[in-house]
């Protein structure tokens, strides 16, 4: 693994466990054995490393969803979330935690997370339209809220909460389908 990727992987684990702003650079670099000089060479700043971690996290989740047109496109979002939580643990959304910690300190990180969340919302809209045969902005927001809520709730509950959110999404989709008839 190249040093840049090694630093991102190690920093991701540290940020996931300890948060972003409350952990020093030495602790962030310790898993990779990287130096401060190497951090600045590859990322320009500590915030640059945070952006790289967030970009990779978002990219990996979106790649998980890419090209999927299952029989239940909206329900599949929750299936993918369940698998993600099983693989990565349930600590809430890393992107939203970063946005919260950097709300005042870094408009760039706040803007990055906003773009990422908008991209995910567009994926939900695509899946809602695929299922219904038409766009439904209000339903897209409702599904997004269920997804984000399940992600947060899984951090204080067990993962079965995702199945409950999926069931609620299925009810919303059924009602929307009935209204279209």
Token output for 111: 């803007």
- In this predicted structure, what is the pLDDT of residue 1? 61
pLDDT digits (tens, 9 = 90+) for 61-110: 999 998 666 789 999 999 999 999 999 889 999 999 999 999 999 999 99
* Contact yes or no for 113/54 (Cβ under 8 A): yes
Number of separate domains in the chain: 1
Full domain range(s) for residue 117: 54-180
Q: Does residue 74 lie within any of the structural domains?
A: yes
Token output for 78: 């929750």
pLDDT digits (tens, 9 = 90+) for 119-136: 999 999 999 999 999 999
Q: Which residues have a Cβ under 8 Å from the Cβ of 60 and sit 6 or more positions away?
A: none
Q: Which residues have a Cβ under 8 Å from the Cβ of 41 and sit 6 or more positions away?
A: none
pTM: 0.93
> CA 5, CA 2: separation in Å to the nearest integer?
5
């Amino acid at each position: 693994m190249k040093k840049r990727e090694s630093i991102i992987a190690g920093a991701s684990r540290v940020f996931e466990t300890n948060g972003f702003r409350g952990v020093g650079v030495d602790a962030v670099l310790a898993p990779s054995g990287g130096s401060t000089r190497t951090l600045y060479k590859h990322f320009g700043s500590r915030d640059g490393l945070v952006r790289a971690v967030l970009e990779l996290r978002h990219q990996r989740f979106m790649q998980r969803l890419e090209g999927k047109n299952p029989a239940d496109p909206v329900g599949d979002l929750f299936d993918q979330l369940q698998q993600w939580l099983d693989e990565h643990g349930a600590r809430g959304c890393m992107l939203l935690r970063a946005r919260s910690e950097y709300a005042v300190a870094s408009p760039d990180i706040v803007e990055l997370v906003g773009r990422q969340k908008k991209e995910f919302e567009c994926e939900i809209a695509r899946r809602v339209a695929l299922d219904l045969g038409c766009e439904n902005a209000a339903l897209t927001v409702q599904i997004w809220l269920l997804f984000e809520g399940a992600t947060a709730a899984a951090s204080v509950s067990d993962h079965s909460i995702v199945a409950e959110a999926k069931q609620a999404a299925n009810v919303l989709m059924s009602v929307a389908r009935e209204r279209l008839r």
